[in-house]
Structures are given as C-alpha cells and as structure tokens.
Amino acid sequence: MTAADLARLHADCFRQPRPWTEGEFAALLDGCGVILLAEEGAFLLGRVVADETELLTLAVSPAQRRRGIATRLVSRFIAEARARGGVTIFLEVAADNLPAIALYSGQGFTESGRRRGYYATPEGNPVDALVMSRLLSRPAQGS
C-alpha cells in the first residue's frame, strides 16, 4: 500500500482522532523499524525502536469490519514485534472507542496510562486517550 492508499483508508475510518495525511504516512514509512501489515481494506502500521514497539494506527474499512481482520493484523504485529526484538508494545486509543479497546484487551493489552482530554470530538468535546501496553514473552532458548 502506498502512502496515498493508507491516507484514503484512514480517512474512511477516522474522524476523531483526525485522519492522517498522505505526507504523514510517507514520513512514517520512510522511518526506521516500520512494520506495515495489510489485508484487503485494512492495515496496521507500527514500529520497533530498540526493544519498544508502538502500534501507531490500525484501520479497517467499515465494509470489512466484523470479519476478524483486525484480530489477525494485531496477532501478526505481535509476532513481528517479537521477531524484531520487541519486549513491550504500546498503543494509544480513544477512551470512547470501545470496539478497539475490546480488541486490544482480547490480545493481552492492559491500560497503563491515561491522557486526560487528549483528543477532541468534531464538536470540540474532550476525550481521554488510553495508553495500553503488552509485554511480549520471549521464545525459550534453543527453540
């Protein structure tokens, strides 16, 4: 997927927080440690820096939702992060995004922080950001 493809899909999926631009995606894709996983109508973008991994964004087209795509992408991301030496994965999600919170909780993420009023709805109402994290288990030596 190109930066333009990512920006279009992101705009179809997000109003709050605001969708990212093609330029923002291009800059991220040029960075070190980037992980881009995609399926039809969906993508997950993250990065590994040293032993920390960050899930930056996950977008699934409204027409593709409720088919297990997000779960598959997050599972693949966890495996890729582990393979690249990640020890902890962090992500941030709007506190009112209950489907995403359920997805991440189901994948072993727990709330590790809260940013009060970090986001704003299109109407200007504040929404907290939850910081969630997950420790990655290491494969046994000799496996």
Please provide the CATH number assigned to the domain covering 3-135: 3.40.630.30
Q: Percent helix, strand and coil across the chain, each rounded to 5?
A: 30, 35, 30
Residue 27 CA to its chain's centroid (Å): 17
pLDDT tens digits along 28-74: 999 999 999 999 999 999 999 988 999 999 999 988 888 999 999 99
In this structure, what token pair is assigned to residue 74? Answer: 């997050």
- With bands split at pLDDT 50, 70 and 90, how would you rate the model's confidence at 142? very low
Mean pLDDT, rounded, for 6-29: 88
pLDDT score of 143 more than 50: no
Residue 69: partners with Cβ closer than 8 Å, 6 or more residues away: 39, 41, 42, 60
Mean pLDDT, rounded, for 3-27: 88
∠ CA 39-53-135 to the nearest 5 degrees?
A: 105
pLDDT score of 77 more than 50: yes
Mean pLDDT score of the chain: 90
Please state, for a pLDDT cut of 90, what percent of the chain lies above it.
76
Phi, psi of 76 (to 5 degrees): -65, -40
pLDDT score of 109 more than 90: yes
- With bands split at pLDDT 50, 70 and 90, how would you rate the model's confidence at 137? confident
pLDDT score of 104 more than 80: yes
pLDDT score of 111 more than 60: yes
pLDDT score of 130 more than 80: yes
Phi, psi of 17 (to 5 degrees): -65, 165
pLDDT at residue 140, as a whole number = 45
